[in-house]
Structure 1
């Protein structure tokens, strides 16, 4: 039986980070809004992630600064003083997020099934979703709203990107058919090899596309982009560190294809309907891959993790990671080019 037989008056979502997971959560939040348009939605979210989602239709964002510790938690609780939600949807396993729930009043506090509730999350909730089988993070997020009473649908997104940001993207790409490379993951070991990014980019330019490098202003990302550009023999546009998150989203939306390792931009591109060629070695792409392009991922994850664990994938926990600083070396340039050609077959340059 679903938790609610009629629309709840108010629901609070708690998902602070990271960018990719927040993109998955948007689809679940908007599916709830489509089914229960009268339900008031509040979302407690991280500071960086809020930059992407500011202006999300009919969603009250309450920003939590993770770096501020207890004072940040108290600031959130103060904003919610005197308020009581019909349900709190606790979508984050980190202990810090669970502690944050202590000052949020809700009749039902819904968390992951105990089999999946790491860091003692189950201690902070009074309802558990039944889902233990979903592989992909997005599907497990949809299990939360299904538990409330919202029927399962295909994920869709309406991101708060303005016409100004869309115009910026068109101007930067100059209306040319573009392939975007977002080379940096959150950890350097999850990046593909610099020279292979450069080789792939040169090949793509030779096929008539413009290549654009995108990423955050982090020094390590800017250095990686410079190294890729320096190794290339063909021209490249380097926008790393030169866009806001919303401008980046608009640019990804204008692309013919996005190449990325396990990273936020891969999932942002999915929200824009842009095909994503994902590169995976450390995490299971069936769990964290670009949702509509899982079959297009180039992955050496299964080989690595089964070798390291000595067990087949079916016997491993859904979140098991492969470990090692050189695993991405296993992804050959020839395989990535072959996958690119397959994905672009039938796509006209001037569409």
Structure 2
């Protein structure tokens, strides 16, 4: 199976692999980016992960690298859950059965220009894991059967608890992820800082997780874990949290994958693309605006000052968070 690209994309394959393992007794060799390989550690359906570096997949040598991978996997089928020029190089080299999934790329681009009802209905009928599943299944399984799953060991969970105790966290807490790969998808930083006291007034503590320290260097607090946890350590921390508040991001899917409820803030992107949290208590806050969604990945320039995000006030997020915690029994 091949899926590279971003953290959330690979995380969303984990539930599909579990589904195929349960329903077909299938086992997999996964080809993905080396830095994302830890997502698949301990997965019962994964026998091997072939890691590829960013330079390898983006460089001119990818044609030769793909030939070596195909040769090493002789006799296996190939499931393309990426659908890109990179995966095409592998497919052209592959000698076994090749399957891929309906990416709805043309439909997404048409909808981005002309948000017609017929296009919206086609896109919202299936989320991304359901689309992945159609690479092998003739009909889409229920979305609830395909939720992403990260398999943490008991040692990793215990280590996560020790890490939180070390920074003085003793009360129930909420995790905050204020970042996004594309900055225009991120809720304004001042709003996050305003949300923190609203959380504390409810007797809850908080931690900040993520990799981008640019906007939080001034927040000198041991609960600011920005850049201080590796990928699976972040998962272990999220597994202890009562909920995660985040933008449309990879950690949004990590939280779902460890069973932690999510409150996600969507601005330039939207649920219609199919990349949304799918846990039983997960919720998305977004504004109905004629200009949304304005891009596939949140990269277009905005003439309205990102009103889709700035109009979502901290009080509203706090209320949705506390409602989510109550529904989840937290």
Pairing 1:268–2:259 present: no
Output the CA distance in 2 between the equivalents of 1:333 and 1:107.
51
CA contact 2:267–2:293 (8 Å) conserved in 1: no
Tell me which moved more, 324-333 or 266-275: 324-333
Pairing 1:96–2:83 present: no
Output the CA distance in 2 between the equivalents of 1:72 and 1:167.
40
Q: 1:102 to 1:290 in 2, by over 3 A?
A: same
CA contact 1:43–1:61 (8 Å) conserved in 2: yes
CA contact 1:183–1:261 (8 Å) conserved in 2: yes
Output the CA distance in 1 between the equivalents of 2:286 and 2:76.
42
TM-score (norm 2): 0.81
Give, in angstroms, the shift of residue 116 of structure 1: 4.4
CA contact 2:78–2:96 (8 Å) conserved in 1: yes
For the aligned residue pairs, the C-alpha RMSD in angstroms reads: 3.1
Structure 1 match to 2:155: 164
> Which of residues 225, 234, 259 in structure 2 aligns to 1:239?
225
Structure 1 match to 2:55: 67
SS class of match (2:135): helix
Q: 1:199 to 1:64 in 2, by over 3 A?
A: same
Structure 2 match to 1:139: 130
Give, in angstroms, the shift of residue 150 of structure 1: 8.7
Structure 1 match to 2:213: 222
> Which of residues 241, 254, 276 in structure 2 aligns to 1:255?
241
Alignment of 1:1-351 (within 5 A): 13-37=1-25, 39-59=26-46, 60-68=48-56, 69-81=59-71, 83-85=73-75, 87-112=77-102, 116=106, 133=123, 134-147=125-138, 152=142, 154-174=145-165, 175-216=170-211, 221-227=212-218, 229=219, 237-286=223-272, 287-292=274-279, 296-300=283-287, 302-306=288-292, 319=296, 323-325=300-302, 326-327=305-306, 328-345=309-326
CA contact 2:18–2:45 (8 Å) conserved in 1: no
SS class of match (2:137): helix
Relative contact order (C-alpha < 8 Å, sep 6+): which is higher? 2
CA contact 1:176–1:209 (8 Å) conserved in 2: yes
Give, in angstroms, the shift of residue 43 of structure 1: 1.2
Give, in angstroms, the shift of residue 165 of structure 1: 2.0
- Structure 2, unaligned runs of 5 or more: 110-120
- Structure 1, unaligned runs of 5 or more: 1-12, 120-130, 309-316
Once the two structures are superposed, residues 24-53 of structure 1 have per-residue CA deviations (whole angstroms, 9 ceiling, x without a partner) of 11110111011122x331111112211332
Give, in angstroms, the shift of residue 20 of structure 1: 0.9
Output the CA distance in 2 between the equivalents of 1:44 and 1:307.
31
Give, in angstroms, the shift of residue 156 of structure 1: 4.5
Output the CA distance in 2 between the equivalents of 1:195 and 1:109.
46
Structure 1 match to 2:112: none
SS class of match (1:253): helix
Give, in angstroms, the shift of residue 15 of structure 1: 0.7
CA contact 1:93–1:117 (8 Å) conserved in 2: no
Output the CA distance in 2 between the equivalents of 1:285 and 1:150.
18
TM-score (norm 1): 0.76
How many residues align? The count is 305
